[in-house]
Amino acid sequence: SQQGEEDPQALSIQEGENATMNCSYKTSINNLQWYRQNSGRGLVHLILIRSNEREKHSGRLRVTLDTSKKSSSLLITASRAADTASYFCATGGIYNTDKLIFGTGTRLQVFP
Amino acid sequence: DGGITQSPKYLFRKEGQNVTLSCEQNLNHDAMYWYRQDPGQGLRLIYYSQIVNDFQKGDIAEGYSVSREKKESFPLTVTSAQKNPTAFYLCASTIGLAGASAIPYNEQFFGPGTRLTVL
């Protein structure tokens, strides 16, 4: 069963605006990861946040993790048209037999 | 260039045929994975391998088979038993520890994907 659920399913913004995507999950995790997928391409890893971290930054990306609410958010600041893509969260379980579970993604459209 | 490659990019199959999708990596990663992605959906795990000559079923293994004879290669065969094989197939790899699973703990590196269409 899917672990991560992204919200919203689709988001349209203008260049320069900030984009926020949310991910909720159901069980205890070791880490939560965000990936980007351009149309028809493979996924690219963006950032990994471990369960004992609350916030992480990478360039224009800011990820927060609230393990008490079992949720994470991805903020892309000053969006560019090139940020247009689908964004997926994926959760890594606490047992080494767990698999990385991907959500259904948020489709982001950034208009020039 | 280090990376993970998949071939072909597009593949067409007639009903009843088996087809094999190639996945090769030169990242020296121990673990490799095959995912299936349907339109507007997330990724579902088909098979994974943590070490050479060993692999495990994922969530949707029925109708698929794999082999892991070399560390660098993890081909996926879509058999005629797979009733709805039209999808986008993604291969990935991750750093692993020999004899231990690193699946949930590290980032995965993805290939560019193969789009399979059944005619």
Q: Is B43:A3 a contact under the CB 8 Å cutoff?
A: no
Q: Which residues pair with A45 in a beta bridge?
A: A35
In Å, how far are A32, A82, B13 from B80, measured between CA atoms? 36, 40, 10
Spatial separation of the C-alpha atoms in residues A59 and A46, rounded to whole Å: 10
Taking only the tens place, the pLDDT of each residue in A75-94 is: 999 999 999 999 999 998 87
Q: Output the average pLDDT for chain A.
A: 92
Minimal C-alpha gap between A14 and chain B (Å): 23
User: Chain A residue closest to B4 (CA)?
Assistant: A42
Cα pseudo-dihedral A57, A39, B88, B46, rounded to 10: 10
Give the single-character DSSP code of A83.
G
**Among residues B96, B94, B59, B52, which one has the least CA distance to residue B74?**
B52
Taking only the tens place, the pLDDT of each residue in B77-110 is: 999 989 899 999 999 998 865 445 555 677 899 9
**Is B97 an 8 Å CB contact of chain A?**
no
Taking only the tens place, the pLDDT of each residue in A52-70 is: 999 999 999 999 999 999 9
